[in-house]
Amino acid sequence: MNAMLAFLRRVANLCRKELQVILKDPASRVLLFVPALLQSLMFGYAATLDLRQAPYALLDQDHGPAAVQLIANVEGSGVFRRVATLHNENDIAPIVDAGEVLFVLHIAPRFEQRLSAGETTPVQLILDARNSTTAGTASGYLGTIVSRFNADWRQSHGGGAAPLTVDVRAWYNPNLETRWFMMSSMIAVLSMLQTLMLTALSVAREREQGTFDQLLVTPCTPAEIMIGKSVPSIFVGLVQSTLILLIATLWFHIPMAGSLVTLYIGLLVFTVACVGIGLAISALAVNMQQAMLYTFVLMMPLVLLSGMTTPIANMPTAMQWLTTINPARYAIHLVQRVYLEGVGLGTVIGDIVPLLIIAAVTLPFSAWLFRHRLV
């Protein structure tokens, strides 16, 4: 009992010191809040895959009422904005090459005539697919516009109702805004990056300044030192998640569907797993420069293989396997389900268990590294 008390007292002492060191330094104080704030605002506004006012060019060689109707449908959506009207086919290549437009809509001569004759009438779409994502989105939008045009045409020309219609209801994100998806991912990813950096650097900094030796000669055991390093980092990571959560709900007005308790349980487990990785880096790195380098090398795959920017299901099988050891993958999934979908703890258990397993591997591993690399 006494030993337990002494242990707790020493750990509390280490934690207090760690927080003092973090909070007393004006530079690291700024580092705690400003990047999280800036990045979440930036991602919220800038990182969007939604098309708004995308420039396009029109080559209309028919000029009939049907063509005018189709163009009105395209331009009325607010998604596309005509920046050029072409007069012959030779104009197409230069304007796409120059990157001035995302696509050229080409309505061939005899458009109206063929339509009226009941023939299948092609409308040509020339896409600038250098950015395949926006090109794909644009083509999708146009597909929708064309099918609506088809349906209208049939109705007004006595072709009867379309045999099949798609009725879209986008659940959890009714307006299909990328921001909703991005911001909820950020709650996990941003705090992961900061936690990793903080833990990885904190030991390296102490080692560089010689304070780590001073710490090691005290009766504190490596395990106590590790806990003393982890708890403040976990705390800071959760504070950052909270910050982004507040920006998402209060600034971007993304409604929180689930329970805060479930969300924080998930985030806590996730942050512990990240701290384990950070500590392993810090045990391996000899100085701050190395710790920084290792962290940056790790960050890229952690973010890429998390499903934040590209769906995991689209990745090659080997990569999909790799994502299973990435804590960010589970955390993003978990946060989205709880935040946007509002599921309870029982549903996200499939994300929490892998996170627990990762934490159960990284923490003892870094403890092992600590013992073998340091003492």
Partner 1 sequence: MNTQAALVAQGVGKRFVIKKAGRTVVALDDVSIEVKTAALTALVGPDGAGKTTLLRLAAGLMVADTGTMTVLGIDAAIDPQAIQNRISYMPQRFGLYDDLSVQENLDLYADLHAVPHDVRGKRYKRLMEMTDLGRFTSRPAGKLSGGMKQKLGLACTLVRSPELLLLDEPTVGVDPLSRRELWEILEQLVREENLSVLVSTSYMDEAARCAHVAILHDGKVLAQGTPESIRNTAEGLCFAVTPPADEAPRHLQARLLDDDKTVDAVPRGGKVHFVRTRAAVEQDDPDVANLLGTSQAEPVPPTLEDGFMLALRSKVQRDLSSVASVAMSTPTRALKADETVIEVRDLVRTFGDFTAVDRTSFSVSRGEIFGLLGPNGAGKTTTFRMLCGLLPASSGTLRVAGHDLRKARAHARQQIGYVSQKFALYGNLTVDENLKFFGGAYGLSGTHLRERMAAVKSQFELDDSGHAQAGLLPGGFKQRLAMATGLLHAPDILFLDEPTSGADPLARREFWRRITALAEAGTTIVITTHFMEEAEYCDRVVIQDAGKVLALGTPAEIRRQAGETDAQTFDMEQAFIGIVEQNRKASRGGSREAA
Sheet holding 124-127, edge to edge: 80-86, 54-60, 103-107, 124-127
Closest contact distance (angstroms) between CB of 223 and partner 1 is 11
- Would the CA dihedral through 10, 13, 17, 19 be positive or negative? positive
- Largest Cα span, the chain: 94
Residue 56 phi, psi dihedral angles, 5° rounding: -145, 165
Q: Which stretch, 8-16, 80-88, 156-164, 249-257, contacts partner 1 (CB under 8 A)?
A: 8-16
Closest contact distance (angstroms) between CB of 221 and partner 1 is 6
Structure token digits, residue 229: 């390093």
Determine the residue type at 325: I
Q: Among the residues of the chain, which ranges form H helices?
A: 2-24, 26-45, 65-76, 92-97, 111-116, 132-156, 178-209, 211-216, 222-246, 260-284, 288-304, 317-323, 327-336, 349-373
Among 16, 110, 130, 157, indicate the residue that binds partner 1 (CB under 8 A): 16
Among 92, 116, 118, 95, CA closest to 106: 92
Q: Is 290 in the site for partner 1 (CB under 8 A)?
A: no
For 119, left (φ over 0), alpha (ψ -120 to 50), or beta? beta
Closest contact distance (angstroms) between CB of 370 and partner 1 is 13
Closest contact distance (angstroms) between CB of 220 and partner 1 is 5
User: In whole angstroms, what separates CA 163 from the centre of its chain?
Assistant: 39
User: Distance between CA atoms of 17 and 232, rounded to whole angstroms?
Assistant: 9
Q: Which stretch, 18-26, 71-79, 177-185, 341-349, contacts partner 1 (CB under 8 A)?
A: 18-26
Among 85, 113, 214, 309, indicate the residue that binds partner 1 (CB under 8 A): 214
User: Distance between CA atoms of 71 and 86, rounded to whole angstroms?
Assistant: 14
Q: Which is nearer to partner 1, 50 or 213 (CB)?
A: 213
Q: Which is nearer to partner 1, 150 or 218 (CB)?
A: 218
Among 13, 139, 290, 347, indicate the residue that binds partner 1 (CB under 8 A): 13
Among 51, 71, 135, 216, indicate the residue that binds partner 1 (CB under 8 A): 216
Ranges within 25-54 binding partner 1 (CB under 8 A): 25
Q: Which stretch, 104-112, 215-223, 255-263, 306-314, contacts partner 1 (CB under 8 A)?
A: 215-223
Q: Which is nearer to partner 1, 10 or 337 (CB)?
A: 10
Among 113, 116, 211, 310, indicate the residue that binds partner 1 (CB under 8 A): 211
Q: Which stretch, 13-21, 74-82, 123-131, 302-310, contacts partner 1 (CB under 8 A)?
A: 13-21
Q: Is 289 in the site for partner 1 (CB under 8 A)?
A: no
Q: Is 288 in the site for partner 1 (CB under 8 A)?
A: no
C-alpha distance from residue 297 to each of 11, 150, 281, 300, 302 (Å)? 31, 51, 11, 6, 9
Q: Is 220 in the site for partner 1 (CB under 8 A)?
A: yes
User: Distance between CA atoms of 339 and 334, rounded to whole angstroms?
Assistant: 8
Q: Which stretch, 16-24, 73-81, 124-132, 194-202, contacts partner 1 (CB under 8 A)?
A: 16-24
Q: Is 286 in the site for partner 1 (CB under 8 A)?
A: no
Closest contact distance (angstroms) between CB of 218 and partner 1 is 4
Among 63, 119, 213, 296, indicate the residue that binds partner 1 (CB under 8 A): 213
User: Distance between CA atoms of 356 and 347, rounded to whole angstroms?
Assistant: 16
Which residues are near partner 1 by CB under 8 A?
Answer: 6, 9-10, 13-14, 16-17, 20-21, 24-25, 209-211, 213-221, 375
